[in-house]
Amino acid sequence: MRILTAGESHGPQLTAIIEGLPSQLPIDKSLINAELKRRQGGHGRGRRMVIETDQVQIVSGVRHGKTTGAPVTLVIENRDWKNWTSIMTSDPIENPDEVKKQVTKPRPGHADLNGGLKYNHRDMRNVLERSSARETAMRVAIGAIAKQFLSHFGIDVAGRVINIGGVVDTETVPESIEELKERTENSPVRCLDKKAEEKMINVIDEAKKNGDSIGGVVEVIVNNVPAGLGSFAHYDRKLDAKIAMSVLSINAFKGVEFGIGFDAANRPGSEVHDEILWNEEEGYTRRTNRLGGFEGGMTTGMPIVVRGVMKPIPTLYKPLQSVDINTKEPFSASIERSDSCAVPAASVVCEHVVALEIAKAVSDKFAGDYLEEKIASFEAYKKHLLNF
């Protein structure tokens, strides 16, 4: 599967092309829109989310509700475009007043300065438009199609928030993924524990009041993954590595761990590795899942448990030292519209980027140009797993 996204945050639209989906895959647009709505929510989001009501348009590759095997093109319009048309389109030479609106004050923590230096943009709007996490709306739409594909293989993906600004949700994940979904859906910060939820909301409100921002940790769980997705044979076929790359590609994500993750450094091997069991109904299973579903770049058949840490949002109302690239003078940050915490939204994004990597791995392993052909290959492999 190959995927390309394009589009500026305040341009007319986001676009994606997905190539390599099998034909005959039913696509339910309302399920994609429901995921887009989930991404727009969460306590701590800024005013932009009041303007946008993200809806996907499918403009190629799907006919009568099913993929044809041709590239699928998705479009999400930016409602905010109408408020930015002049800034986005006026020529600064013809309209010198527009020069005043150029972005010359880079924000520490955002892509502004490095992007300006690299691409020689003295108006760093040319950087921020594309480095904006607006792009994650399209990543969710693509991931929502990946989830629909995975549902035919019984694979289910869900996510939650486990830390905001140091307030940790220590509640264990319920065994039923449906229960996990329902409980996090009813939380404005997408966590499980109600006491932690209240504290997380307070931490976000406090940060906002102080002109500051706050980050956190999200967790994604993937159930019913067969053993053997990915490969040990070459570095760029290791599925845990691909997932790690995808999680780190989410704006503001700075670290990834699987299962007990970094805590593995503090334990002896006997308290890290997952003992192997066998029974007739399930074949090979594990006594524990401390490695989060991966050994040797391949799935073990246990649930995948992956976490990502998001740094606090860079755009602050409280000034941080920076330099105007024209005057070279220090400045105090001007007040701009921004999220104060986007960790709950990012947990939805994380679910979808992980879903896409799993979908690619399933699609690679189970041959077929149409869905039923892939399912037949998957069923044969499941028999092999039981007979091995």
Ligand X SMILES: C=C(O[C@@H]1CC(C(=O)O)=C[C@@H](OP(=O)(O)O)[C@H]1O)C(=O)O
Q: Which residues bind ligand X (CB under 6 A)?
A: 9, 46, 48, 52, 132-134, 136-137, 251, 337-339
Q: Is 283 a binder of ligand FMN (CB under 6 A)?
A: no
SS3 content of the chain, % helix, strand, coil (to 5): 40, 20, 40
**CB closer to ligand X out of 219 and 339:** 339
When asked if residue 8 is in the footprint of ligand FMN (CB under 6 A), the reply is no
Q: Which is nearer to ligand X, 109 or 228 (CB)?
A: 109
Give which of ligand FMN, ligand X, none residue 9 binds (C-beta under 5 to 8 Å, depending on kind): ligand X
Rule CB under 6 A: say whether 76 interacts with ligand FMN.
no
Return the residue of 157, 349, 361, 362 that touches ligand FMN, per CB under 6 A.
349
Q: State yes or no: residue 218 binds ligand FMN (CB under 6 A).
A: no
d(CA 310, CA 254): 6
How many residues interact with ligand FMN (rule CB under 6 A)? 21
Q: How far apart are CA 69 and CA 10, in angstroms?
A: 32
Binding site partner of 134, from ligand X, ligand FMN, none, Cβ cut-off 5-8 A by kind: ligand X
Q: Which residue has the tokens 């450094």?
A: 265
User: 15: annotated binding-site residue?
Assistant: no
Q: Which is nearer to ligand X, 133 or 145 (CB)?
A: 133
Name residue 20's amino acid: G
> 68 is written with which tokens?
């044809």
Q: Which of residues 130-159 bind ligand FMN (CB under 6 A)?
A: 131-133, 136
- In the bound state with ligand X, the residue whose beta carbon lies nearer, of 9 and 163, is 9
> How many other CB atoms sit within 10 Å of the CB of residue 357?
26
Nearer to ligand X, 234 or 337 (CB): 337
Binding to ligand FMN by residue 251, rule CB under 6 A? yes
Counting contacts by CB under 6 A, is residue 46 touching ligand FMN? yes
Kindly state the smallest distance separating residue 54's Cβ from ligand FMN, in Å: 12
Rounded distance, CA 85 to CA 100, Å?
A: 16
- Please report whether residue 346 would count as binding ligand FMN according to CB under 6 A: yes
Q: How far apart are CA 133 and CA 135, in angstroms?
A: 5
Residue of the chain from 78, 148, 187, 338 that contacts ligand FMN (CB under 6 A): 338
Complex with ligand FMN: residue 40 or 285, whichever CB lies closer: 40
Rounded to whole angstroms, how far apart are CA atoms 192 and 176?
Answer: 13
Instruction: Select from 43, 105, 110, 360 the one that contacts ligand FMN (CB under 6 A).
Output: 110
Would the annotation count 45 as a binding residue? yes
233 labelled binding-site residue:
no
CB 41 to ligand X: min, Å: 11
Helix (H, G, I), strand (E, B) or coil at 37: helix
- Residue 133 or 310: the one with the smaller Cβ distance to ligand X is 133
CA distances from 43 to 47, 91, 340, 371 (A): 12, 38, 9, 39
- The number of residues in the chain equals 388
Residue 352 and residue 57: Cα distance in Å, rounded? Answer: 18
Residue 283 binding: pick among ligand FMN, ligand X, none (C-beta 5-8 Å cut-off by kind): none
User: How crowded is the C-beta side of 360, counted as CA atoms within 13 Å?
Assistant: 20
CB neighbours (10 Å) of residue 251?
Answer: 20
Stretch of 106-114, 144-152, 317-325, 378-386 lying at the interface with ligand FMN (CB under 6 A): 106-114
Asked whether 318 and 99 are in contact (CB, 8 A), the reply is no
Q: Return phi, psi of residue 56, to 5°.
A: -90, 145
Number of H helices, E strands in the chain: 11, 17
Strands 216-223 and 156-164: antiparallel
State in angstroms the smallest separation of the CB of 274 from ligand X: 37
Give the pair of three-digit tokens for residue 11. 């341009």
Q: Which residues bind ligand FMN (CB under 6 A)?
A: 46, 109-111, 131-133, 136, 250-252, 311, 313-315, 338-339, 342, 345-346, 349
| Feature table: binding site | 39, 45, 130-132, 251-252, 296, 311-315, 337
Annotated binding site for NADP(+), which residues? 39, 45
